[in-house]
Amino acid sequence: MPDITHEEWLRRAESLKVPGVHHVDGVDEPGAGATFTVVSPRDGRVLAEVADGGTAEVDAAVAAARHAFDTGPWPRLTPAERGRTLMRIADLIEERREELALTVSLEMGKPVKDAYAIELRALIATFRWYGQLADKLTDESPHTPGDALALVTREPAGVVGAVVPWNFPLTLAGWKVAPALAAGCTVVLKPSENSPLSALLLGRIATEAGLPPGALNVVAGNGPVAGRALGLHPDVDVLAFTGSTAVGRAFLHYAADSNLKRVWLELGGKSPNIILPDAPDLERAAATAAWGIFFNQGEMCTAPSRLLVHSSIADQVTDAIVARANELRVGDPLDPATEMGALVGESHLGRVLGHIGSGLDEGARLRAGGERTLTGTGGSYVRPTVFDRVDPGMRLSREEIFGPVLSVLAFDDLDEAVALANATEYGLAAGLWTSDLSTAHKVSRALKAGTVWVNCYEEGDLTVPFGGMKQSGNGRDKSAHALEKYTELKTTWIQL
């Protein structure tokens, strides 16, 4: 993180010029003239009036992507050439890292230090990793009878529609855009209407880095209109979505009602974090549990929102988390001293407060937080919140809150812990704290989750896949496996 003061970030915010129109076929495109307002959750001020993409704008972006795929140079470049372009995109992102971090912080409320050190680091690493991977992939030639030759080739799937949320607007865009481009596909990216500015800037950076026109198009707009238009479009071959389970279901309907495009979903979570009495370091386990639920204001699909702790240590662990919640500094995202910023907006703040109210109504014990704070700023802030004595049937324990709200459930034995962990419609991630190697392996296998962290949380890199089970979705982001979403397998059988 660069040594930039709060005052300097404020000065830069005042002079920041944000893009307000779509980026289609390598140029800025204002669309038909309709706009929507982007408000900063840090203070309620208007950041920009942004072009509101509808069916016509999505049609134009898809047409540009289709033309670029069918006749343009991008799919016809060698994998090494595509890789070098992705590396140049990463270099330009690095050059403009502070500008991008500031844009993300202003539009969705996370601390600017986290936007710079975590979100932008992930975006840069993603483009570099897939740039380096692009020419390392191989096709197959299975063993055949002596009078035949078989080839199994991986070919780019075509036009990819990518619809991404606001909580990590650049990281999650990168996880979809970079592997799709590496595979030779062309992309139409539709960012959340809450956080379109950083994605619009990313589209311009990609063009500046030498990405051919039409290879990456960015259309701003509301999900029920622009997102739906992408989902229904007959010229979109693959749709990759990260967001809510309800919208994921809608995209499956869109595919069924149009061209049966492949739909890859990364959806919600209600992730359990199990702490056993033999955890190697209870203090670190508690500190990590607190960090995990309060990081990014709890606006993470993988947030460890259900803490499952053995009854013999439940009070000790909960007390440590409550102490951390009470000392956590909530404040202006542009202040480097801030540890937790603003929720994305007033509507979402109301939703989080509604869940907190339901916890109180259903009899859970409020140990910390539970209320709005910093009301004089005009921003959307809530105090870090901890409930214990949570019953598995409560809404707190069942529904994804997507905010800094922790539910503590106690258990008495390991079988009960696993049953509680799996008693959810979601299956995205889980955590386990134990010193016993056998327990670590057995419980990890028993947990129905796409990722299980043992004696840590939110760790990993681009070498491993990310995605969920059950109603947390299908398909995988990250790693070489992500390319499977954006390629088609073709068999060629040659009779000799």
Residues marked active site are found at 266, 301
The secondary structure of 414-440, three-state, reads HHHHHHHHHCCCEECEEEEECCCHHHH
Q: DSSP labels for 97-155?
A: HHHHHHHHHHHH---HHHIIIIIHHHHHHHHHHHHHHTTS---B-----TTEEEEEEEE
Per-residue b or e along 151-167, where b marks 16 or more CB atoms closer than 10 Å to that residue's CB: eeebebbbbbbbbbbbb
Compute the distance between CA of residue 338 and CA of residue 252 in angstroms, rounded to an integer: 40
Q: Which residues, listed in sequence order, are joined to residue 429 by a DSSP beta bridge? A: 451
385, 404 Cβ separation under 8 angstroms: yes
The Cα 12–Cα 30 span in angstroms is 25
DSSP track, 364-406: PEEEE--SEE-GGGTS-EE--EEEES--TTSHHHHS---SSEE
CB 266 within 8 A of CB 475: yes
- Cα distances from 66 to residues 23, 235, 344, in angstroms, run 15, 7, 34
Q: How many residues does the chain have?
A: 496
Cβ neighbours around 496 below 10 Å, total: 8
Q: Which residues lie closer than 8 Å to 132 by C-beta, 6 or more apart? A: 83, 87
Q: How far is CA 495 from CA 60, 149, 151, in A?
A: 44, 7, 12
Is-contact 93 213, C-beta < 8 A?
Answer: no
Residue 244's SS3 state is coil
CA 61 – CA 218 distance, rounded (Å)? 8
User: What is the C-alpha to C-alpha distance for residues 234 and 74, in angstroms, rounded to an integer?
Assistant: 21
The SS3 assignment for 38 reads strand
